[in-house]
Amino acid sequence: MRTAHGATAHMGWQELLPAGARGRVLCLDVGNGQATLALAQMYDEVVSVPLQTRDVTALADVVGRASASHVTVLPALRQEFEGAFDGLVAVLFGSECSGARPGAVRALVREAAERIGDGFVVLAAANALACSRPPGRGFKGFLTWGARGLESVVTSSGREHTRSWPVLLSEDAPFEVLHGPYRSPSGSGRGTERIKEVVLGVAGARWFAPGYVTLGQRRESALVVDELLENVDLACGGESRVRRHLAKRDKTLLVTDTGSGEPGRVVVLPHTPRALSLRSHEAEILRAAQTLPPRLRRLFPGFQGDGRHDGQDWLALEHMPGIFVDEPVADLDQITERAADLLVDLHLETRREVHVDEVVYGALVGSLVASARRRNPWCAELLAQIDLQLRAELLGRNMPQVWMHGDYKIENVGIDKDSRHPVAVIDWELAQTPGLPLIDLKYLLVYNRMLRGSLEFDVACLEVADGTAWSDGEKRTLDQYAATIGLDADLRRILRVLFIIHAGGARLQYDGADPAERSRLSRLLAAGSAQLKCDARGKVGGAA
């Protein structure tokens, strides 16, 4: 598998390509280069043609910046190409293609299909009949009305064997491929999730999904996802069938069952070196969790195995029970309180008192500051100042260290649908053992504010940056945690700042080329630095 430097976000359709040959592919690109660079990670040679000739310069610039030397950009289709192609891929999502006339696009796809001989055709596009459409997008300019629209284009090119998958879109890009009826991960049965379950059922999904991916072949063959799961099953045992297919920015998640309805496993496909490193780290954490008492050990997914197939690394984890809340459900306060109690139990079990010397400081704090500086170099000076302040406040004192999850939000806590008690905690890729106390609880409470107010993280975080704006219920939760774990007011103030550092150093990725993005992180860090400066002048900060 070839890797193009600067390759863009994974979008899920890559696993729907036919397995096998990875020689040469023709791509019709909307002009932003995303499909081209995705294919450049999979094929030895990519020939890319923009949907509209005016975009050829922009497409060539994207490919050049990615140093993808095995990609050739052409302004238009040639009458004849030397050599054979394995297939044609036209992923036509995004506002860049909104100006193209649907009739002209269909004709271009058919013409391109003629140039590739017997190769496969993959065509993906947004749907005019979608139950929800991007703001400002009406029916005009869409390539398809339901799945049948794409299938008719593909079959007219001589590919009689077709398969279509409905896809859910986020910002005009796929984030979930449906391999069956839509099922809400939160299990709330309320609001928009309930509507989606009804509209995107067995019949409705073929007409009303936000978009579709259609594969056409002259002869049917196995898909990338099929062969990958066969490889996983051979290594880990059992039989897997895809239930959910989620495309994240740097990884794909395949949630499977056994075919008889029983839970299967979660197969993680990392697509960047960082994603692979994080998942390998998670595997180490899950192995270490086997030493915890049974009441805690059962909450961690079991690590089932890892491997590599056709150039793609994979890791397999136990599929955990429960529903995962990602909306402000009626009993959010109650399940949050129970998630906080679970956190206290884990942190009490793993708590160790340490004297903060240079070694301990480097492991718990210095590494976070260094990571934040690497990821956000425009804030290096401010971060260096904060590092000096933190050293002055922490070196020489005692503090507790605990097992820190690093992304402890309610949607990572599996909740039993009936009892509403926690039954699982997932996504341990940012965990530190040992790590800092209180950080996880702050993530839990801040992300709840985001759910309730539809806020960005930095806005929700700034609301409580000085520790004075927590609600009465949030204050009680923080106070109870601090009293149980043993955090005095001074250490709680310092951990407020470390929470901001952790978010910028380990979790959030800001675009340094965007002044607005730079400003968002700078405001957060300045709020943290102000806390330390205030206390350096003798003023006392808030309680949490």
DSSP code for 203: T
Burial class (CB in 10 A: 0-12, 13-18, 19+), 263: middle
Report the distance separating Cα 284 and Cα 297, nearest Å: 14
Which one is predicted more confidently, 137 or 249?
249
Which pair of structure tokens corresponds to residue 468? 């004075």
Beta bridge partners of 413: 425
Q: Is 268 helix (H, G, I), strand (E, B) or coil?
A: strand
pLDDT-based confidence at 96, cuts 50/70/90?
Answer: low
pLDDT of 484 above 50: yes
CA atoms of 376 and 304, how far apart (whole Å): 35
Q: What is the rounded average pLDDT for all residues in the chain?
A: 87
- Across 394-422, average pLDDT: 96
The closest alpha carbon to 24, from 39, 34, 8, belongs to: 39
Topology of the domain covering 332-536: Aminoglycoside 3'-phosphotransferase; Chain: A, domain 2 (3.90.1200)
Give φ, ψ of 114 to 5 degrees.
-70, -25
Confidence of residue 521 (pLDDT cuts 50, 70, 90): confident
What is d(CA 150, CA 216) in angstroms, rounded to the nearest whole number? Answer: 10
Q: Please indicate whether residue 516 or residue 367 has the higher confidence score (pLDDT).
A: 367
At 200-225, the pLDDT tens digits run 998 899 999 999 999 999 999 999 99
What's the angle, vertex CA 140, arms to CA 138 and CA 142, rounded to 5?
A: 95
- Average pLDDT (375-392) is 90
Q: Residue 453: its pLDDT value, please?
A: 85
pLDDT tens for 154-172 read 999 899 999 999 999 887 6
H or E element that contains 368: helix 367-375
- Whether domain 230-318 has CATH 3.30.870.10: the reply is no
For the chain, what percent of residues have pLDDT higher than 90?
Answer: 60
Both tokens assigned to 214: 């259609």
Question: Quick count: other Cβ atoms within 10 Å of Cβ 266?
Answer: 21
First to last CA, the chain: 49
* CATH topology match: 13-166+186-221 vs 332-536: no
Edge-to-edge strands of the sheet including 352-355?
352-355, 398-404, 432-435
The predicted structure's pLDDT at residue 520 = 83
In the three-class reduction of DSSP (H, G, I as helix; E, B as strand; rest coil), residue 176 is classed as strand
CATH code that applies to domain 13-166+186-221: 3.40.50.150
Where do the structural domains in the chain lie, given as residue ranges?
Answer: 13-166+186-221, 230-318, 332-536
pLDDT greater at residue 305 or residue 540 = 305
